[in-house]
């Protein structure tokens, strides 16, 4: 981390949530000073007791003045509070009033699409979807293209060995289903399309040791928005391992439980990205542990690069457009293993 960022204050909105707590810990590990914010003052103070000396600034999205106080004097804000359909707009607006960068970990497709459209002309960096879903797939696809601005197809297959959803994941899913009136969504022909068709079950050839596994096709995730926001690509499709898809949908699947001192669960993942462009197939593969925990280094690495001027553009942009994707992924070697198999024709 650049020395100039040491000791800088960063507001974490939704700091006491499952992912928010990982973000707070990652900020502390990298020398930042988290400012704890969110709706529930009691939970904020309880979290502050675990990290002596951190400032607590309760705020709600219905109270712009409270949000302004929560962001006063800080270098940036990381929004970890879903559903993001409700929180993104007010927190982005507060960040713009404060003149500071905004990063969120949203994975709600419609909320992300709204952010790119509504804040297209933002005067400071607005980075939505900087999470496992949305951010990582976008970085992998961009790195696989190695500078190409367009592709014919992008396919992102998620080999999760399990998926125990957090309360936030369930709440976000409920909001998304309501917005879609229960319909499904896919990205085809260069746009989001809503439909009622049954999702297919396919076989995906994951790299070893996972190997070929059954996946749910068109299990559409946030990557379809982040990838298409800056790459000229008409078809973006995401796939989910059948077992993980069943678990996240089932109402009785328990929340993730910690299995180490860092609070990570035992969940493992493999993300296999296949890009077809110019008659060639290019791939990027990432392996790691705990999709919620790995969101924290993704978001904080992004924040650090924004605050140290290591960006390629300004305004509202996805990770793939904002950063050198391959270099960004290399910086996360303590959290991810990334490989680029040789292109094929």
Taking residues 185-210, what's their average pLDDT?
96
Same domain, yes or no: 235 and 311: no
- 13, HSE (Cβ side, Cα atoms, 13 Å): 33
- Show the tokens assigned to 53: 């000396």
Same domain, yes or no: 138 and 128: no
Domains: count for the chain: 2
Rounded Cα distance, 289 and 335, in Å: 8
Same domain, yes or no: 140 and 92: no
CA distances from 140 to 44, 157, 286, 330 (A): 35, 12, 8, 11
Would you say residue 339 lies in a domain? no
pLDDT of 2: 45
pLDDT of 4: 61
Same domain, yes or no: 179 and 283: yes
Same domain, yes or no: 197 and 62: no
Same domain, yes or no: 275 and 138: yes
- Show the tokens assigned to 245: 């898809």
Rounded Cα distance, 317 and 185, in Å: 22
Same domain, yes or no: 189 and 262: yes
pLDDT of 1: 40
Asked if residue 91 lies in contact with residue 97, where contact means CB atoms within 8 angstroms, the answer is no
Taking residues 91-95, what's their average pLDDT?
98
Same domain, yes or no: 279 and 140: yes
Confidence of residue 344 (pLDDT cuts 50, 70, 90): confident
Would you say residue 342 lies in a domain? no
Same domain, yes or no: 115 and 256: no
Q: Which residue range(s) make up the domain with 175?
A: 133-290
> In this structure, what CATH number is given to the domain that contains residue 154?
3.30.360.10
- Which residues sit opposite 327 in a β-bridge? none
pLDDT digits 0-9 by tens, 27-74: 999 999 999 999 999 999 999 999 988 999 999 999 999 999 999 999
Same domain, yes or no: 113 and 200: no
Would you say residue 148 lies in a domain? yes
Question: How does 229-257 read in b/e, with b if 16+ C-beta sit within 10 Å?
Answer: bbbebebbbbbbbbbbbebbeeeeeeebe
Q: What size, in residues, is the chain?
A: 345
pLDDT digits 0-9 by tens, 112-163: 999 999 999 999 999 999 999 999 999 999 999 999 999 999 999 999 999 9
């Amino acid at each position: 981390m650049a020395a100039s960022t040491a000791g800088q204050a960063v507001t974490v909105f939704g700091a006491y949530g499952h992912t928010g707590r990982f973000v707070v810990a990652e900020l502390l590990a990298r020398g930042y000073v988290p400012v704890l914010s969110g709706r529930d003052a009691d939970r904020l103070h309880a979290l502050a007791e675990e990290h002596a000396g951190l400032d607590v600034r309760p705020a709600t999205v219905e109270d712009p003045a409270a949000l302004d106080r929560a962001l006063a004097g800080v270098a940036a804000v990381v929004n970890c509070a879903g559903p993001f359909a409700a929180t993104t707009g007010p927190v982005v607006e507060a960040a713009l009033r404060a003149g500071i960068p905004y990063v969120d970990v949203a994975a709600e497709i419609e909320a992300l699409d709204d952010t790119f459209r509504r804040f297209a002309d933002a005067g400071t960096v607005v980075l939505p979807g900087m999470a496992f879903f949305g951010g990582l797939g976008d970085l992998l696809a961009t790195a696989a293209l190695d500078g190409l601005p367009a592709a014919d197809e992008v396919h992102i297959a998620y080999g999760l060995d399990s998926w125990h959803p957090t309360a936030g994941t369930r709440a976000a899913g409920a909001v998304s289903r309501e917005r879609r009136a229960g319909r499904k969504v896919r990205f085809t022909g260069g746009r989001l399309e809503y439909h009622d068709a049954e999702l297919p079950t396919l076989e995906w050839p994951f790299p070893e040791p996972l190997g070929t596994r059954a996946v749910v096709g068109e299990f559409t995730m946030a990557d379809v928005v982040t990838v298409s926001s800056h790459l000229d690509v008409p078809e973006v499709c995401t796939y989910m391992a059948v077992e993980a898809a069943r678990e996240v949908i089932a109402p009785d699947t328990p929340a993730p439980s910690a299995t180490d001192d860092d609070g990570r669960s035992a969940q493992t993942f493999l993300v296999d990205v296949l890009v077809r462009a110019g008659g060639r197939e290019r791939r990027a593969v990432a392996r790691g542990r705990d999709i919620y925990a790995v969101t924290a280094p993704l978001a904080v690495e992004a924040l650090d690069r924004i605050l140290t001027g290591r960006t390629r553009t300004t305004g509202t942009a996805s990770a793939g457009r904002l950063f050198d994707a391959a270099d960004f992924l290399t910086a996360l070697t303590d959290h991810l293993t990334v490989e680029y198999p040789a292109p094929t024709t």
